[in-house]
A = this chain, B = another copy of it.
Amino acid sequence: MRAGMAVLTVDAAGMRAQNSGLLLNMIWRERQISRAEIARRTELSPSTVSAIVADLELAGLVRSIGAGVSRGGRRPTLIGFCDEAFSLVGVELGASHVTVVLTDLRGRVRTQSKASHAVRGDPEGSLQKAKELIQECLDAERVPRRSVVGMGVAVPSPVHPASPGKMSPLILPAWKNVDVKEWFETTFDMPVFVDNDANLGALSECFWGAGSGGEDLTYIKLATGIGAGHIIHGDVYRGAGGTAGEIGHIAVDSNGPLCVCGLRGCLVTLIGSTALTERARELMGARGRKGPTVRDLVEGARAGDPAAKQIIDGMGAWLGIAVGGLLNLLNPAIVVLGGEISSVGELLLDPLRASVRQRALSVSMAETRIVTSALGERAIAVGAATLVLQAALRDRSLFPQQNVGRTA
């Protein structure tokens, strides 16, 4: 019954793998730390720590970075993580664009490239476009294939844990016959990890944003679609069928408009980008021929335009219904709002918090921080790259072997 079968047996080699993984994580997290300090914290013996650090050094993952301050005796040698030793590729297949980033092991973007593309209906073209952009990034930095750990791909569809390359036939029917994971794997010959965009936004926030403390967190992506991703115990939570976080199709208004999903009054029909810009066209008038965009809305609200503020207020109220339910059901430590519209910051957070306060227990409300993302528009693509980093920090063997097979 218990899912705990994940725990595998250990032999001598497994013991080393486990301990060295622990050390690698500690060094990554602390940025710089001495052997002695590691020994104190892990309760591993100094000799063992030294041996493992030597291992990691040989693998090119950590290195000495000078001496630290003395604690009354010999000064410690600080060990640091080699952030630049390997690269990560992050791909975002958005609704209308493809973004690619190349990052180091600290989530810093070394190159990025982006192109508009109608991803929804054109799998072949989108993948081809992605391939070009990836190649572009790799070439720009002259990154050899050997130094890339792997590739993360964010897709605008739920991903079933059992078949991570397959898109949902309801959300992306045109992608029915494509296996994204397989395609990238065969095209680039490296490990590929695929996940839903909101999940990767959440991961991004967990590693580099509001949730860097490691607490449980929910990220809400406010865009054409509305999706949420949960981080639970430091890991993306996907649910039994991969559809956890489909907050956009929570029905918040039983008299609301009909949604493409077949339900009525879904959150997305009320506060999705389309609904917002339509509302803006009504209240703010047409800008040029195409009507106001989300960007116009953001700028309007920031400039104090009452119509824009009214729209944002309404959005906060609707969103609060869903977030209130979220707090009561899941009680995350942090809720992060992402997506272009979230850049209005407090203008959205104020009405949202007010709405939540009417719908969530004061306890869970008081303990939950609700914030907007500070990671910008690359958050999702970086999150995709982070998925690879997370996997590699868990399983050292994912890092490509550099110094191939020399026996000391």
Contacts and interface: CB of A to CB of B under 8 A. Distances in A.
Interface of A: 1-4, 7-12, 14-15, 18-19, 21-22, 25, 29, 42-44, 158, 168, 170, 206-207, 211-216, 228, 230, 232-235, 237-247, 249-251, 261-264, 321-322, 324-326, 328-333, 358-364, 367-368, 390, 393-394
Given A241-B364, A244-B331, A2 B18 contact: no
A243 B363 contact: yes
A1 B331 contact: no
Contact of A367 (B241, B261, B331): B241
Given A22-B9, A216-B240, A249 B329 contact: no
Nearest to A328: B246
A243 to B, nearest CB: 5
B29 A358 contact: no
A379 to B, nearest CB: 16
Contact of A29 (B2, B29, B213): B2
| 5 shortest interchain CB distances as A-B pairs | A239-B331, A3-B234, A240-B333, A244-B331, A241-B367
A388 to B, nearest CB: 15
A244 to B, nearest CB: 4
A241 B331 contact: yes
A50 to B, nearest CB: 15
B1 A328 contact: no
Nearest to A29: B1
A360 B241 CA distance: 13
Contacts of A358: 251, 263-264
A242 B331 contact: yes
**From A21, A214, A242, A244, residue with most partner B Cβ within 10 Å:** A244
Contact of A2 (B11, B214, B230, B330): B214
B234 A42 contact: no
A326 B333 CA distance: 18
Contacts of A363: 158, 168, 170, 241, 243
Given A244-B330, A250-B329, A328-B243, A212 B1 contact: yes
Contacts of A10: 10, 15, 18-19
Nearest to A213: B1
Nearest to A212: B1
Given A170-B362, A232-B232, A1 B211 contact: yes
Nearest to A171: B363
25 contacts: A3-B214, A3-B233, A3-B234, A4-B25, A7-B21, A11-B15, A14-B15, A15-B15, A230-B330, A232-B232, A238-B331, A239-B332, A240-B367, A241-B364, A242-B331, A243-B331, A243-B363, A245-B331, A246-B328, A247-B328, A249-B361, A250-B324, A250-B329, A251-B324, A251-B358
